Structure 1
Amino acid sequence: MSETMEEERAKPRPADDVAREVDLPWCQPKPGHEDVRAPDLIREIMAHPNYLQADEDVDFLNRDEMRGPRLQLDYQKAETLLREQGIAHSIVVFGGTRIPEPQAAREKLADMEARSAADPSNDDLTRRVEIARRIVAKSRYYDVARAFGQIVGAREGTHGNRLVIVTGGGPGMMEAANRGAHDAGARTVGLNITLPHEQFPNPYITPGLCFRFRYFALRKLHFLMRARALVVFPGGYGTLDELFETLTLIQTRKIRPLPVILVGRDYWSRVFDPDFLVEEGVIDPEDRDLFWYAETADEIWEDIGRWYAQFGRNIDEPMGGDDEDFISRCRA
């Protein structure tokens, strides 16, 4: 055999990624014929929850001291998948979950009126009828939110799927906005939250773009990371929470200003009085101008466009720098 052939034989082939010719010693459990107790002892060891790999051990991940990793996961999953889907800019829509589409509101009112008529001395039923009537009156906003979602959805379909409707993923006003975008054939995002009472997503969110958060704080972060406008319909505590937090971030310039539009002046003028806050000296006059009112879907969209036109930009253009990242928008 030549010296060249000897050298080639001495050079090994690359090892297989997984397979081996000879199993390693730990690939088989200690046999029972060596120690009759061994099989039971091994099963006991491997059945113990502490033997689970860390990222598969849900009980461990739920421990108090694992809150840091959970916060990171809550942020990172949605961020990674939204980036993969090319979701760059959003219009965030908030609003009450208790305001259904008009037909459903009318049906509930009719039911309450019938029950009250059968028991006219029941003051609770009388009160619930009055509330149901007010819900019917507000249900017109469902149609406004749906029409607005259609406007944004039509634009999203012609601009590379970069501008999308984002809601909290629930019923009512959020459902309406998602539904409008869905009607237009556009993708639309829902950010659900894990609650003690199970929350179902509304059916008009794009599959794969509905995310469920453990922490309100991380959900709030994702609402604003890509936001180009905030549109707020009549709602309750949750709606007020998101509205006032956003106004505070803009007031303090923790984030760059963005359009904040309250839909339904009659409703919002009773919910809070910014003029009173100015008169009392607890906010400045300029803080009163961080939002305005609108009534129709077209008015909302035109107002957003006008706001951006004052800066010589379109709504889906970057605001400067790496503005697609909320952190870079912060005045840190």
Structure 2
Amino acid sequence: MTQKDLQDRRFYKAKQEAKFAKDLTPETPQTLSKSYKLAFQDSEFLLREELRPVRFQLELLKPEMLLDEAAVASTLVIYGSARIPAPDAVDALFANATDDRERTIAERMKEKSQYYEEARKLAQLASSSHIKDEDGKRHFVVCSGGGPSIMEAANRGARDVGADTIGLNIVLPHEQAPNEYVTPDLSFRFHYFALRKMHFLLRARAVAVFPGGFGTFDEFFELLTLVQTGKIEPMPILLFGKQFWERVVNFEELMLEGVISPKDLDLFQMVETAEQAWAEIVAFYDLEECD
């Protein structure tokens, strides 16, 4: 036998077998039955309750494999609200306000609108660093939830400087499409929140948390819990907007109540600007030596 013969596959690839099944199968009562479909092509079968563990595995594997193939070694994850408007869209909130509560909301949204630009700037800074390891894999690739507002700003900042950027969308009862700035081949869609949150952190080397609601709090506090309990190594966790965070969460009182320790207050840093946040990341990893 030749060397070529030894290296050749003896079985057809699944893709080839699927083509055979499509092109060569005659139509009979037996072949038209659902039971005759190849299991991996039978979506009705894959969506059965009993197949949930398989779907978990597929949702873990697909992004992992594609990010590996795209040479993404690490990410800068940017969390934040899907509701904060860009500065040029704030006036519409005031125009539509009909009572004092809505005017208060509009005023506070105006305060937070600056963070759209800060998220965009931070993504520009990270994406312009062009940090690669010796294998050519890329670091601090910007990753967001792929939606509007702060997430859009993050992906937009990376696009501004011609860099790839990741979006991790989730299927929701209402429409949630990827924003236009996500790199198409790095745009992922999840069914399971748990798997989406896992992919946020598998490659994360820094996380910026902008003002947000339930989803942002969920992601932020899970990250704090993982670092606090030693499940993952510490990393820069940067909270944008000291006034917002101190108004909505009293971290000092949590510590004084005894439910967290004083050292837990050091798990994150408050920042106001993209430059401050990037400086924290640079200092944490001593990135000056990577130039």
Q: For 2:249 and 2:100, how far apart are their aligned partners in 1?
A: 27
**Structure 2 Cα separation of the partners of residues 158 and 140 of structure 1:** 31
Partner residue, 2:17: none
Shift of 1:199: 1.1
SS at match of 1:212: strand
The C-alpha deviation readout for 1:64-107, integer Å capped at 9, x for no partner, is 10001100000000000000000001110000000121112223
Q: 2:240 aligns with which of 243, 263, 268?
A: 263
Superposition map of 1:159-308 within 5 A:
161-308=138-285
Percent identical among aligned pairs is 48
Aligned-partner SS, 2:208: strand
Partner SS for 2:238: strand
Counterpart CA distance in 2 for 1:315 and 1:272 is 37
Contact 2:170 2:176 in 1 (8 A): yes
Contact preservation (8 Å) 2:79, 2:145? yes
Structure 2 runs not aligned, ≥5 long: 1-10, 13-23
| CA-CA distance at 1:43 after TM superposition | 3.4
Contact conserved, 2:25 with 2:31, CA < 8 A, in 1?
A: no
What is the TM-score when the length of structure 1 is the normalising length?
0.75
SS of match in other structure, 1:46:
coil
Work out whether residues 163 and 316 of structure 1, in 8 Å CA contact, stay in contact via their aligned partners in 2.
Answer: no
The RMSD of aligned alpha carbons is 2.3
Structure (1 or 2) with the larger CA radius of gyration = 1
CA deviation profile, 1:175-204 (whole Å, cap 9, x unmatched): 101100100110000111112222100111
What's the TM-score, normalizing by structure 2? 0.86
SS in 1 for 2:180: coil
Counterparts in 2 of 1:19-58, with a 5 A limit? 43-58=28-43
Residue correspondences, number:
267
**1:151 maps onto 2:136 in alignment:** no
* Residue number among 74, 80, 83 corresponding to 2:59 in the alignment: 74
Alignment of structure 1 residues 10-159 onto 2, 5 Å: 43-110=28-95, 112-113=96-97, 116=98, 125-156=99-130
Structure 2 residue matching 1:254: 3-state secondary structure: coil
1:45 aligned counterpart, secondary structure: coil
The amino acid across from 1:146 in the alignment is: R
SS at match of 1:196: coil
Structure 1, unpaired ranges of 5+: 1-16, 19-26, 30-41, 117-124, 318-332
Question: Alpha-carbon deviations, 1:214-241, whole Å to 9, x = none?
Answer: 1111111111111110100000000000
Is the Cα contact below 8 Å between 2:131 and 2:290 reproduced in 1? Answer: no
Letter in 2 for 1:212: R
